[in-house]
Structure formats: structure tokens, C-alpha cells
């Protein structure tokens, strides 16, 4: 019961944020929640199943384009476009898994990176449709949901909060379910899990597909809420970012992706104000974190004090 209370309390606090944040900071918080959904998906693959991927930018971009292109080309409204984005991320993740999961460890990481890079180059090649590096702005008619304009502050924040809340509670339910325990078993000892009758390939494929659904939802939400779709979201940077979020917040913790995304966003904002070499400060902070809290912030808290944290 404690984990559910904690997660619902966090959602309740976030719901009040527009009352005490400026519109600028509330918009940034909406962006953080969308990126946290992306990191939640990565956490299911890496934190709970042990799949170290460098191809999640492909899944994010798949959701983004699957939502943005129908809205742009065929005038789809935000609801159907968002569903298409989720499906796009899940389908690409399943296809990627069918091929990449024939490898393991470092080989899996390299194969996912290669597929992501191939996806990025494909988006550049078909720039007349995708917009390439410049991307395109999603038409205003595609950013309307149930009569609400998602380009305005309050509907955008509420939509981001709703997606975040559903993703967070679904993640909590999943990792506490029998399948969630199976994912952790695969991470801890794949061979023993195989001896108990579980099929590692099937479990990993399901976990990677679920991760893709989260990434697709984040990509679609980013396109529809912030009105931009571009090939730059398929670059290696957006495969590394969710990894950093998860490592900072705590891999294998349900709240770690949000905490990591929040702290990383705030750290980059503060470092940018202080110096043009802001990446040096971010890198130094990560080195300190790895030295003193190798399991991430919430992972360390769970290990030392609150063992009930999921």
C-alpha cells in the first residue's frame, strides 16, 4: 500500500504545480513529465530486464512521426494521432527485438545502436516527407483533443500530467505483477529463469515491446503538445538521455526515471546559466553520483533506508 500512496501523492503534488509555478516553468515541467515517460520505458528494458539499449531514440522518433505525419498529411486529430504514435513505438520495438534479441550484452547494445542510426539516416533520406534535420511544425488542427487546444498552457500541462500519471501507475502495477518479477529474474539470472521454464527470448521481447509503447507515447506526446517533429530526436543523444535519467534517479525503481529527468533538466538549466561548458558540469555531477551512489539516488535510498520502494 505504501508505494501506491507515494505515487498517487506525487501525482497530486504535480497537479497543483500550475498554481505555484509560472507558465514558463509549468511548461518545462510538462516537458519533463513527457521525457520521464520515455525514461520509464527505458527503465522497463534496462532497469528491470537488464537490456542495455542504445536504440531507444528510434522508438521515440517512431512515436513522434507516427503521430505527427498523419496529423500533418491527413488532418488527424490529436486523439487518433496519439494512439498511432503509441502503436508506432510498440511495433518498431517488437521488430527491433525480433532481430536484436538474437544477441546479448555488448552485442545487443551495438545492434540497437546500428538500427537507430539506420532509422536516423532513413529520416534524412526521405527529408521531403519527414522534414529531415529541420523537421516540421504540427498543424494546429492536429493539436486539438476533445475541443481543447493542446498548444495552450493549461490543456498542455493537464495532458502531460495525465499521460505521466497513467504511465507511472501502469509501471508500478507491472513491476509488482508476476510478469514484473519474471523481468527481474531475467535481469538477475537468465539461466536459472530458463531452468524454471521461462523463455528468455519471449520475456525480453515483451519487455522491449512494452518499453517501445512508452517511448512511442512519449514521442507522440512531444509532437502533439509542443508542436514539433524532427529527425534530431532519432540521434544518439536521445538514446543516451533516458539512460542518464534512469542511472541518476535509480535503475529498477519506478520513480527513478522522473527524479532523474527532473534533476538532469534542472542541472542542465543551471549549468547553462553559469557557463558555456555546461556539459562538463553535468559530466562531473554524474561521476560524483556514480562514485557515491552507484545505484542512483532512489536505488541508494532503497538499499539503505526504505526497502519497500518499488
Banded pLDDT at 256 (limits 50, 70, 90): very high
- Longest CA pairwise span in the chain (Å): 55
Q: What is the pLDDT at residue 275? A: 79
pLDDT digits (tens, 9 = 90+) for 115-135: 999 999 999 999 999 999 899
Q: How far apart are CA 303 and CA 298, in angstroms?
A: 8
Q: Collapse the DSSP code of 49 into the 3-class scheme (helix H, G, I; strand E, B; otherwise coil) and give the result.
A: coil
pLDDT digits (tens, 9 = 90+) for 270-301: 888 887 777 888 888 888 888 888 899 999 99
Q: What is the pLDDT at residue 131? A: 93
| pLDDT over 90, % of the chain | 84
Is the Cβ–Cβ distance between 36 and 164 less than 8 Å? yes
| Mean pLDDT score of the chain | 94
Q: What is the pLDDT at residue 141? A: 87
| Cell numbers standing for residue 302 | 532503497
- The pLDDT of 72-98, averaged and rounded, is 96
Q: In this structure, what DSSP letter does residue 105 have?
A: T
pTM of the model: 0.97
Strands 228-229 and 148-149 come out as: unpaired
Banded pLDDT at 29 (limits 50, 70, 90): very high
Highest mean pLDDT among 135-149, 222-236, 266-280: 222-236
Is the Cβ–Cβ distance between 230 and 124 less than 8 Å? no
Q: What is the pLDDT at residue 13? A: 97
Q: Work out whether the CA dihedral 206, 211, 217, 223 comes out positive or negative.
A: negative
- pLDDT surpassing 90 at residue 14: yes
- pLDDT surpassing 90 at residue 102: yes
13-22, 252-261, 280-289: range with lowest mean pLDDT: 280-289
SS (H, E, C) 247-281: HHHCCCCCCHHHHHHHHHHHHHHHHHHHCCCHHHH
Q: What is the pLDDT at residue 214? A: 98
Is the Cβ–Cβ distance between 81 and 139 less than 8 Å? no
Is the Cβ–Cβ distance between 214 and 38 less than 8 Å? yes
Q: How far apart are CA 122 and CA 132, in angstroms?
A: 9
- pLDDT surpassing 90 at residue 181: yes
Highest mean pLDDT among 147-156, 159-168, 284-293: 159-168
Q: Bridge partners of 229?
A: 136
Q: Residue 14 to residues 36, 217, 281: CA-CA distances in angstroms?
A: 13, 19, 28
- pLDDT surpassing 90 at residue 23: yes
Banded pLDDT at 86 (limits 50, 70, 90): very high
- The pLDDT of 246-267, averaged and rounded, is 96
Grid-cell match 511495433, residue found: 91
Q: In this structure, what DSSP letter does residue 177 have?
A: S
- The pLDDT of 38-47, averaged and rounded, is 98
| Cell numbers standing for residue 25 | 516553468
Q: Collapse the DSSP code of 244 into the 3-class scheme (helix H, G, I; strand E, B; otherwise coil) and give the result.
A: helix
Amino acid at each position: 500500500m505504501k508505494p501506491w500512496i507515494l505515487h498517487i501523492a506525487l501525482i497530486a503534488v504535480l497537479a497543483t504545480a500550475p498554481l505555484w509555478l509560472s507558465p514558463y516553468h509549468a511548461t518545462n515541467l510538462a516537458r519533463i513529465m513527457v521525457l520521464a515517460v520515455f525514461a520509464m520505458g527505458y527503465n522497463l528494458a534496462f532497469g528491470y530486464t537488464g537490456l542495455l539499449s542504445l536504440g531507444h531514440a528510434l522508438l521515440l522518433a517512431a512515436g513522434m512521426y507516427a503521430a505527427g505525419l498523419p496529423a500533418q498529411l491527413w488532418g488527424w486529430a490529436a486523439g487518433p494521432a496519439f494512439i498511432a504514435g503509441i502503436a508506432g513505438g510498440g511495433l518498431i520495438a517488437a521488430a527491433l527485438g525480433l532481430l536484436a534479441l538474437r544477441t546479448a550484452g555488448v552485442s545487443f547494445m551495438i545492434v540497437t545502436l546500428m538500427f537507430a542510426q539506420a532509422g536516423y539516416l532513413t529520416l534524412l533520406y526521405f527529408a521531403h516527407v519527414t522534414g529531415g534535420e529541420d523537421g516540421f511544425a504540427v498543424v494546429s488542427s492536429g493539436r486539438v483533443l476533445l475541443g481543447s487546444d493542446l498548444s495552450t498552457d493549461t490543456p498542455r500541462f493537464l495532458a502531460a500530467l495525465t499521460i505521466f500519471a497513467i504511465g507511472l501507475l501502469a509501471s508500478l502495477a507491472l513491476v509488482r505483477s508476476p510478469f514484473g518479477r519474471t523481468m527481474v529474474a531475467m535481469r538477475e539470472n537468465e539461466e536459472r529463469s530458463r531452468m524454471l521454464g521461462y523463455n528468455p527470448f519471449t520475456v525480453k521481447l515483451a519487455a522491449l515491446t512494452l518499453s517501445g509503447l512508452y517511448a512511442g507515447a512519449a514521442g507522440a506526446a512531444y509532437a502533439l503538445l509542443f508542436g514539433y517533429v524532427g529527425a534530431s530526436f532519432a540521434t544518439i543523444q536521445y538514446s543516451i538521455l533516458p539512460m542518464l535519467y534512469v542511472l541518476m534517479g535509480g535503475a529498477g525503481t519506478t520513480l527513478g526515471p522522473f527524479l532523474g529527468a527532473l534533476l538532469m533538466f534542472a542541472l542542465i538549466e543551471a549549468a547553462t546559466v553559469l557557463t558555456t561548458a555546461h556539459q562538463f558540469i553535468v559530466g562531473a555531477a554524474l561521476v560524483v553520483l556514480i562514485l557515491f551512489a552507484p545505484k542512483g539516488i532512489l536505488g541508494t535510498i532503497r538499499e539503505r533506508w526504505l526497502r519497500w520502494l518499488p
